[in-house]
Amino acid sequence: MEMSRAVKALSALAHESRLAIFRLVIAAGPRGVAAGEIAERLEVPRPTLSFHLSQLTGAGLLEDRKEGRSVIYAARLKGISELLEYLIEDCCQGEVGGCAVPDLVVLKNCKPLGSDATGEQK
Amino acid sequence: MEMSRAVKALSALAHESRLAIFRLVIAAGPRGVAAGEIAERLEVPRPTLSFHLSQLTGAGLLEDRKEGRSVIYAARLKGISELLEYLIEDCCQGEVGGCAVPDLVVLKNCKPLGSDATGEQK
DNA sequence: TTTATATTTCTAAAAATATGGAAATGTCAC
DNA sequence: GTGACATTTCCATATTTTTAGAAATATAAA
């Protein structure tokens, strides 16, 4: 990932309303949430919401699809993991003990597929 | 972590120079880097750099210590992992297969301590 | 085709952030 | 002390981002 794309994604997340949108949509899973429902739940005026949603999709963090007359927003997994990966790219530089991202971060929440781990590793 | 702290941290990272600073400092490991060296390496004027560094430390992403007449900046591991954790908090909601943060993200870079994994897990 | 619904684009004004020169502060060596 | 160095604070300016009303677009139901 290039620097400028990472900055774009971080900028998209660096806003109270947009971070709330992002988390709401992530929590909704693959099904996604309609723009109108987001506006209602977060009490953001429609034009303002539309602006924020365009920032998030433009940054590759959300994706949208049409369904009837609604537009449904869902998390874009690839964009999200690329960003996280970029952030911690050089976190270990050899010395694993000093890693900036201890295993708890991911494993606490995400039991790897096909693994026999409990999610409470080590 | 509260929303407002997360926004602060993301805002700190959402800037070309600051993201470069962050990555430079992370890559330097626990030893850290002096402000002057960052300024030289990144070719940022001192007052501007000082402003950016204060954003990053204020956001809890870097920590500073004095050494002689230099100020050394290093990664603040706790702040970094708290932010990442907040971002992916609700990523799985039961359905592990749809996780927004596949295991590759962390494990590719960070072999857990005391593990016999190769870093190329699964 | 008329009407209601869902969302976005346009716009201009308000708010927040970034910039770097000059001056101030703190620290070490002589 | 004096002088050189390292970094930060002050500040005014410049730039970017955010905001939401009014108008435009698009789909669907009656």
The pLDDT tens digits for B20-76 are 999 999 988 889 999 999 999 999 999 999 999 999 999 999 999 999 999 999 999
Hey, which residues 92-111 in chain B have their CB within 8 Å of chain A? 92-93, 95-111
Q: DSSP readout, B1-39?
A: --HHHHHHHHHHHSSHHHHHHHHHHHHHGGG-EEHHHHH
B89 near A CB under 8 A: yes
Six token digits for residue B97: 């297969």
Find, among B95, B56, B96, the residue nearest to B75 by Cα. Answer: B56
CB-strand contact B26/D, under 7 Å: no
pLDDT at A115: 40
* CB-based contact, A116 to chain B, within 8 Å: no
Decide: residue A93, CB within 10 A, 0-12 exposed, 13-18 middle, 19+ buried. middle
What does each of the 122 residues of chain A score in pLDDT, given as a tens digit?
899 999 999 999 999 999 999 999 998 888 999 999 999 999 999 999 999 999 999 999 999 999 999 999 999 988 988 898 888 777 666 455 555 555 445 444 444 444 443 333 33
Contact A29 B98 (CB under 8 A): yes
Q: Which two tokens stand for residue B61?
A: 């992403």
Give me chain B's average pLDDT, please.
82
Partners of residue B26 in chain A, C-beta under 8 Å: 88, 90-91, 100
Domains parsed from chain B with CATH numbers: 3-78 (1.10.10.10), 91-122 (no CATH)
Reported as a single tens digit per residue, the pLDDT across B73-109 is 999 988 988 898 888 777 666 455 555 555 445 444 4
Q: Which nucleotides of C are covered by protein (CB under 7 A)?
A: 5-10, 17-23, 26-28
Q: Is the minimum CB–CB distance between B42 and chain A shorter than 8 Å?
A: no
The rounded distance, in Å, linking the Cα atoms of A59 and B50 is 28
Inspect the interface and report whether the beta carbons of A106 and B111 lie closer than 8 Å.
no
Q: Are B92 and A85 an interchain contact pair (Cβ–Cβ within 8 Å)?
A: no
* CA dist., res. B19 & res. B56, Å (int): 9
Residue of B90, B120, B121 to mutate, testing the A interface (most A Cβ within 10 Å of its Cβ):
B90
Rounded distance in angstroms from the CA atom of residue B40 to the C1' atom of nucleotide C23: 22
